[in-house]
Structure 1
């Protein structure tokens, strides 16, 4: 047994060295980096928290910073005695001969702060497990995962969640804007892989933290678009994409992904005597996708929201980032008990929206539309057509419907497809024309496709006027 008190991780010497460097040469590049990197609460000592806070405030006001001016400011705020008086401040300012190593001192201060935060989070996890407050085991594990994600965020970004001042939020925003303007692709949204749709979504693209809903009747191409977005995220964006499939097994997803990625029809994988060159191309592209390591597939039957959240968090912890989480499709998911189906599925859509925000990724959710839309003359889908999912319009940031006239008219071009962006909280909405061929989506000339559609509709109207229908 020992009577010595175990103190939380900290380094008094590193904290003194950081403050001493700031008092010596506050306008140097490294010292300015330290002022933007650390916060008063990063320091363990209450004395050092107060001194650093004053220095940071004075720097923001472009005031002169040295031992005397900082002491005067501390005295005007009534903090001089709390920090140990004039003597302690001057002792720190004289104790540093050079600011050359200030970044090393700052990293030491930050690292020990993260260790202290880790201890706090670990204690909170233990409290959750010990608590007898009616929470189920799954709920407790979910709470622990949330605490672990907060620790992960703090480790990677230095930020914690919860209420922050506008000044802190503004500072973070300016860093993001600087990254955008400098061409950092990670500071803007994601692309879909369909140029005409991406052009419509510019300049924000698909904003991170968003729920992107795709709605359509069967056989319209929901899964094709879902895979197109997943492949684009994994390959072109170079970010992890997690494809949760409740409709198709893993083997079918892999086969369709290879076909889409290579442009080789999947029928080639069934016919004896297939074209060796095309099969070699498909194999090469499949190997490229496998080595890329960014595409994840989960075909667990009856997926629940908690499973999707858990797996997505795991991959975020392992990879540090997630680009897209894609779910095919909503009404096949295991929903919680509720008075009505729309309420049960509303819990899922809210949870997926929260997941997008938590992981700073895009969640793509497919949904089956109500068959009543087929009774309308104009069968192009609307957000209100979502089956048992009235909440979806409130939760989603984007709502895109898919319409293929060939599904209703065998004489129509079976490849022509319309992507109807009905809702876009971050920009404009509209219609994009594409073609679906051999299980893949291809962009087309938008003006030519729009003119062809107008001619077709004009012809149908004339035919209807003559009693042709």
Structure 2
């Protein structure tokens, strides 16, 4: 008879109760929890419906659960779970405790089986019993690895890779192209499931770079583009996008000095941008002045359940608010957010580009170009990110520099490629980075067609 323990039941109930109230939380635990981690038939049935909704990106409702569990789980018990665990909280730690109790049960059962074999064994059989006992515990270990997702089905893994290989073959292995040839060649573009961090001090062009990611996503993909504008009002963001599209000097727009030709181009570019309808989604945080990370995560997950997402842009990382464990440092909270953004990149199968403010301490150095250590106080960003880019413009610190338009995109980390520095021309008034010509001159004909709306 299998050994059962009872201390796990409150964990089972709390994990399921929180997920019933806040279904998006299930994504935190889906990779390492399965029905076998729950001891009661009722809890396993509830888990399976949550897992099915998550796998199919389907909307989950309490009425759906009651209907599907008719005759299996009493509606009163479902109501009790729902009404007693209403607080939205991180369930990952609870689920890992639950997983630990599953391991405990498996080990106790394995030990019980070994004891039975010892009691039944003859003198000759006892000679080989130690090695046979180890096989029992190895079976428990392997079972736990498979259930936690660390052991993959080879056929599924190969099929998944071949599908991706076929997609890469047709695209040349390239992701979203930004129209800066050297950058696009070195990075092969922005890839789905990647978390891309773009770090810089103020006035270096972070928002401009972010918008340069948005335009090709609008023009060359079919999914939604989600923007969390934590610092800049939506109206300013739209103005900058339109100026980039129409190649209009943004300073002239702000000063009200547009020519009649500029005004016509501005209207035409605005109409082109408006034609994308519901594909461009922007979270306006101007009224509140902040955005709770969990609200943002819920929003993205909801949009992902409705259809394809091509790009997620965060401007910028440190402005998220996150309610953490009492006593958590800012570094720990940022680490949780960067880990969450990487999970969103996987969930949406889209690149997630997050702008990040760098510590002002770098300005005390003679060479003020950012380096990886300038990010290390910001949680686990360095660990979670697939690509880390830094922006540097010498003219910000040295106004008399020989090439005031010169901007550097420094690849500080690239999980699937090389590091390096790319020279670009920062066209701040026109809101974009352009290819750099070594003598400092740039001809607009070299700008990619993504910045036109014809």
Q: Establish whether TM, by shorter chain, passes 0.5.
A: yes
> What is the CA-CA distance between 1:120 and the residue it aligns to?
12
Q: Is the 8 A contact 2:196 2:387 kept in 1?
A: yes
Tell me the equivalent position of 1:421: 411
Q: Is the 8 A contact 1:369 1:387 kept in 2?
A: no
- Are 2:288 and 1:298 equivalent residues in the alignment? no
Distance 1:194-1:382 versus aligned 2 partners, 3 A rule: same
Written as runs of structure 1 = structure 2, the 5 A alignment for 1:346-425 is 346-386=335-375, 388-412=377-401, 413-425=403-415
Distance 1:130-1:395 versus aligned 2 partners, 3 A rule: farther
Tell me the equivalent position of 1:177: 165
Tell me the equivalent position of 1:463: none
Query: How many angstroms apart in 1 are the aligned matches of 2:86 and 2:331?
Result: 24
Tell me the equivalent position of 1:59: none
Q: Is the 8 A contact 1:212 1:399 kept in 2?
A: yes
Tell me the equivalent position of 1:197: 183
Tell me the equivalent position of 2:203: 219
Query: How many angstroms apart in 2 are the aligned matches of 1:323 and 1:296?
Result: 12
- 1:329 aligned to 309, 316, 322, which one? 316
Query: How many angstroms apart in 2 are the aligned matches of 1:118 and 1:219?
Result: 44
TM-score, normalised to structure 2's length? 0.62
Query: How many angstroms apart in 1 are the aligned matches of 2:296 and 2:195?
Result: 14
- 1:254 aligned to 227, 238, 245, which one? 238
Kindly provide the CA deviation profile for residues 316-336 of structure 1, in whole angstroms up to 9, marking residues without a partner as x: 233x21111111111111022
- Are 2:328 and 1:342 equivalent residues in the alignment? no
> What is the CA-CA distance between 1:298 and the residue it aligns to?
1.0
Written as runs of structure 1 = structure 2, the 5 A alignment for 1:141-160 is none
Tell me the equivalent position of 2:108: none
Whichever of the two has the greater Rg, that structure is 1
Distance 1:255-1:272 versus aligned 2 partners, 3 A rule: closer
Tell me the equivalent position of 1:274: 258
- 2:81 aligned to 125, 131, 155, which one? 131
> What is the CA-CA distance between 1:218 and the residue it aligns to?
0.7
TM-score, normalised to structure 1's length? 0.60
Q: Is the 8 A contact 1:211 1:365 kept in 2?
A: yes
Q: Is the 8 A contact 2:226 2:311 kept in 1?
A: yes
Query: How many angstroms apart in 2 are the aligned matches of 1:342 and 1:243?
Result: 24
Query: How many angstroms apart in 1 are the aligned matches of 2:350 and 2:211?
Result: 17
Q: Secondary structure at the match of 1:336?
A: coil
Query: How many angstroms apart in 1 are the aligned matches of 2:211 and 2:88?
Result: 31
Q: Is the 8 A contact 1:398 1:421 kept in 2?
A: yes
Query: How many angstroms apart in 1 are the aligned matches of 2:290 and 2:350?
Result: 23
- Are 2:305 and 1:317 equivalent residues in the alignment? yes
Query: Which residues of structure 1 form unaligned runs of 5+?
Result: 1-113, 143-160, 451-469
Query: How many angstroms apart in 2 are the aligned matches of 1:313 and 1:421?
Result: 29
Query: How many angstroms apart in 1 are the aligned matches of 2:90 and 2:373?
Result: 36
Tell me the equivalent position of 1:432: 422
Q: Is the 8 A contact 1:196 1:443 kept in 2?
A: no
Query: How many angstroms apart in 2 are the aligned matches of 1:172 and 1:270?
Result: 50
Q: Secondary structure at the match of 1:409?
A: coil
> What is the CA-CA distance between 1:134 and the residue it aligns to?
7.3
Distance 1:184-1:167 versus aligned 2 partners, 3 A rule: same
Query: Which residues of structure 2 form unaligned runs of 5+?
Result: 1-55, 70-76, 93-147, 442-454
> What is the CA-CA distance between 1:236 and the residue it aligns to?
3.2
Distance 1:272-1:180 versus aligned 2 partners, 3 A rule: closer
Q: Is the 8 A contact 2:193 2:349 kept in 1?
A: yes
Distance 1:369-1:340 versus aligned 2 partners, 3 A rule: same
Distance 1:118-1:417 versus aligned 2 partners, 3 A rule: closer
> What is the CA-CA distance between 1:262 and the residue it aligns to?
1.4
Query: How many angstroms apart in 2 are the aligned matches of 1:129 and 1:399?
Result: 46
Query: How many angstroms apart in 1 are the aligned matches of 2:194 and 2:78?
Result: 30
Distance 1:252-1:170 versus aligned 2 partners, 3 A rule: same
Q: Secondary structure at the match of 2:291?
A: coil
> What is the CA-CA distance between 1:395 and the residue it aligns to?
0.8
Distance 1:118-1:171 versus aligned 2 partners, 3 A rule: farther
RMSD, aligned α-carbons: 3.4
Q: Is the 8 A contact 1:268 1:279 kept in 2?
A: no
Distance 1:201-1:446 versus aligned 2 partners, 3 A rule: farther
Q: Is the 8 A contact 2:290 2:319 kept in 1?
A: yes
> What is the CA-CA distance between 1:238 and the residue it aligns to?
4.1
Q: Secondary structure at the match of 2:168?
A: helix
Q: Is the 8 A contact 1:213 1:400 kept in 2?
A: yes
Tell me the equivalent position of 1:168: 156
> What is the CA-CA distance between 1:408 and the residue it aligns to?
0.5
